[in-house]
Structure 1
Amino acid sequence: MLDVRKLQVLRAVVTSGTVTAAAAHLGYTPSAVSQQVAALERQAGTPLLERVGRGVGPTAAGLLLSEHAALISSAVARAETALADLRAGRTGTLAVRYFATAGSTLVAPALARLRADHPGVRVDLELADPDDPFRDLLRGRADLSVVVQPRGRADGRLDLHHLLDDAYAAVLPPGHRLAHREVVDLHELADEQWVGSEPPGPCLEPVLDSCAAAGFSPDFVVRSEDYATAQGFVAAGLGVALIPWLGLRTPHPGIRVRPVRHPEPVRVISAATRSGRPVHPPLRALLSALRAATPGTGPADCATYANG
C-alpha cells in the first residue's frame, strides 16, 4: 500500500523541480526527502523521478502519483473544512422527536430560529412514539425528544432539560354554573360529568393526581385523545374537562376557560437527550431555541379567557 505522506513528499519534489527546494518547503533535509522518494519507489515498484538538467522531473509513474497526491491533498482540505463546520455547528443533522401539542406552539418556532441561525443544519423531524417517547433516543435514532416528563422517571441514560410547566385549566360550557368565576376550585367539579382529553400516561397523571388530592375521582362519560375534539364535546354540553394551556392555543368559540386551583394540575414539559453524550453546537443551539420559543401558559395567553 502506498504511503500518503510519501506521496506528498513526491508531489513537493515534482512541483518544486529539485529535491533541495522540496526539502526547504517541507522543512526536511534533502537527505530525508531522497529517502522518502526512494522508499516510495520501492513500494511502487518503478522509478518515479529522473534527471532533467540540474533538477529532477517525474517519470510517467511519478506524474501519475503526483496528480493523485494533489487530489488527496484537496480531499483532506475539504474534510478539514467540513469537520470545522460541523464542530462549529454550521452543518450537521439533528433527529428530533416531539408530541403533537408541542409541535406548532413550541417546536415550530424553535426550528425557525435554528434555521435562521444555522441554515446548514438539517433537521429530521418526526412525532414521537406515544407509548414510548424515549425509544428513538435510547436506540440512537434521535438526538432530542420533546416530552411530557413522566412521574418518577429516573433513567440514568437520559438528561431532561426543563422547558416549561404547562398548567391545566377548566373547560366549561358557556352556560355552566361556574362559567362566571375568575378561578375554579377543583373540588367544585367533583360531581360533574367529565370529557376526557388525555390518553393514559404522563399527561393524564397530573389530572388524576390533582383530582385525588381534591377528594374525588373524575367521572369520564366521554373520552377523547384530541384537545380540539374534547373542546367540541364540552361546547355541546356533554361535560367539563381539564385541558392544558398549550392545548387551548386554538380555542373553540363555544367554551369558557377558567384557571384551576386547590390544586392546579401541571404537566412538566422537557427536552430529553442521551446522558453522557457531548452536547454538540447544533444540539446546544436547538435547546436554546426551544427555551426561547417557550410560550406563555396561562389565562393572559388564551383568547378564550376573555369570553364571558
Structure 2
Amino acid sequence: MIDVRRMQVLRAVVTSGSVTAAAAHLGYTPSAVSQQVAVLEKEAGIALLERVGRGVQPTAAGRLLSRHAAIISQHVAEAETALADLRAGRTGRLTIHYFASVGPTLLAPALARVRREHPGVTIDAKVTDPDDLLRNVEQGSADLAIVVRRPSDESHQGIQVVHLLDDAYQAVLPTGHPLAAQRVIDLADLASEPWVGSEPPGPCLEPIIDACAAAGFSPDIVAKSEDYATAQGFVAAGLGVSLIPRLGLGTRHPGVTIRRVRRPEPIRTICAAVREISPSQPALGALIDALMDATKE
C-alpha cells in the first residue's frame, strides 16, 4: 500500500527540483528525503525519480503520484476547513423532534433565533409521537427532542435532560358558565361536569388524569379532540369543560373563558433532551439557550 505522507515528500522533490531543496523546505535532512522516496518506490514497484545532472526529475510514474498527492493535499485542506466550520457552528445539520403544542409558542421563536445566529446550519424540525421522542435521541435519529417528563420517569444513561418550563393546565369553560365568575377554580368543582378531552393518551394526558384522581374523581369525557383549537370549539359549543395547557392557549376561542385551576394544579414538565456529548456543538448549544429564553417571553 502506498503511504500518503511519502507521496507528499515526493511531491516536494518534484516541485523543488532536487532532493536538497525539498529537504530544506520540509525541514528534513537530504538523506531522510532520499530514504522516503526509496521506500515509496518499493511500495509503487516502479522508479519515480531519475537523475538529471545535479538534480532529479520525475518519471511518468513520479509525475502521476505527484499529481495525486496534490489532489489529496487539496482534499485534506478542504476537510480541515469543513471541520473548522462545523466546530464553529458555521455549517452542519440539526434534527429536532417535538410534540405539536410546543411548536408555535416555544420552538418557533427559538428556531428563528438560531437561524439568524447560525445561517449555515440546516435545521430539520419534525413533529413526532411524544412516546418516541426520548428514544429518538437515544438512537441518534434526533439531535434534540422536546419532551414531557414525569416524576416517575427514570434517567437514561448518556442523555442530558434540560428543564425548560412547567406548563400549567387551565380550565376552559363555555362563556357564561357559572364557574367563570371565579378567578381560580378548585379542580374538584369540575367533577360533575361533562369533559372535552384535549390530549391523546400519553405523557400530556397523565397530569390531567393524575390531578383529577388526587381531587377524588375521574373526568367524564364526552368528546375527544387531540387539537387544542378544536377542543376550545367543542367547549364553546357547550359540549363540556376542558383543561388545556398555557402553551396551547396562544389562540383563544371567543366563546370560552380561561381560569386557573388549583387543589391540585395539573402541570406538565417540558424539557429538552440531548445526548451528553452533543451540547459541545455551537448551534445545538445556541438552540438550548434560545429555548430557555423563549420560556421567559
When normalised by structure 2's length, the TM-score is: 0.94
| Correspondence for 1:128 | 128
Mapped to 2, the partners of 1:131 and 1:80 lie a distance apart of 39
Checking the alignment, whether the CA contact within 8 Å between 2:169 and 2:265 is kept in structure 1 is yes
1:95 paired with 2:99, answer no
| Correspondence for 2:65 | 65
| Matched residue SS, 1:179 | helix
| Correspondence for 1:222 | 223
In the TM superposition, what is the alpha-carbon distance from 1:6 to its structure 2 partner? 0.8
Task: Give CA-to-partner distance per residue, 1:53-106, whole Å, 9 cap, x none.
Answer: 432221222111111111111111111111112222222222210000111111
Q: Which amino acid aligns with 2:274?
A: T
1:152-171 pair list within 5 angstroms: 152-157=152-157, 158-171=159-172
In the TM superposition, what is the alpha-carbon distance from 1:277 to its structure 2 partner? 5.6
| Correspondence for 2:189 | 188
Checking the alignment, whether the CA contact within 8 Å between 1:106 and 1:290 is kept in structure 2 is yes
Cα RMSD of the aligned pairs, angstroms, is 1.7
Q: Which amino acid aligns with 2:268?
A: R
Mapped to 2, the partners of 1:227 and 1:262 lie a distance apart of 23
Checking the alignment, whether the CA contact within 8 Å between 1:99 and 1:128 is kept in structure 2 is yes
| Matched residue SS, 1:169 | strand
| Correspondence for 1:80 | 80
| Correspondence for 2:8 | 8
In the TM superposition, what is the alpha-carbon distance from 1:129 to its structure 2 partner? 2.2
Task: Give CA-to-partner distance per residue, 1:208-261, whole Å, 9 cap, x none.
Answer: 222222233222222222111110010001111111011110111111111112
| Correspondence for 1:299 | none
Mapped to 1, the partners of 2:36 and 2:109 lie a distance apart of 57
Mapped to 2, the partners of 1:43 and 1:177 lie a distance apart of 91
Checking the alignment, whether the CA contact within 8 Å between 1:97 and 1:144 is kept in structure 2 is yes
Identity %: 67
| Correspondence for 1:258 | 259
Mapped to 1, the partners of 2:280 and 2:73 lie a distance apart of 31
| Correspondence for 1:179 | 180
Mapped to 1, the partners of 2:252 and 2:58 lie a distance apart of 78
Q: Which amino acid aligns with 1:263?
A: P
| Matched residue SS, 1:36 | helix
Mapped to 1, the partners of 2:162 and 2:144 lie a distance apart of 10
Task: Give CA-to-partner distance per residue, 1:99-141, whole Å, 9 cap, x none.
Answer: 0011111112111111111112122221112443223222221
Q: Which amino acid aligns with 1:205?
A: E
Mapped to 1, the partners of 2:69 and 2:103 lie a distance apart of 50
